[in-house]
Amino acid sequence: MAKVTFNEDRCKGCGLCVEACPKKIVVIDRDRINRKGHNPATVREMDKCIGCAFCATMCPDCVITVEK
């Protein structure tokens, strides 16, 4: 199973990772705000992640790490 982690304090919530995810499990967390005042991205259903790393490839700030 793949594991996706976000450096949430650096995430600006741009949503590019959300659009890139083929399983549609990456979402912007509207319930939290990071140190920069943005809603960070997160994975809601980690067990559905296929480890494609499209989210990490699309992230302009390199805040996403995908491990298989």
pTM of the model: 0.90
Q: What CA–CA distance (Å, rounded) separates 62 from 14?
A: 12
Structural domains in the chain, sorted by start: 3-67 (3.30.70.20)
Tens place of pLDDT for every residue, the chain, 68 residues? 899 999 999 999 999 999 999 999 999 999 999 999 999 999 999 999 999 999 999 999 999 999 98
String of DSSP letters for 17-64:
HHHH-TT--EEE-TT---TTS-PPEEES-GGG-----HHHHH-TT--E
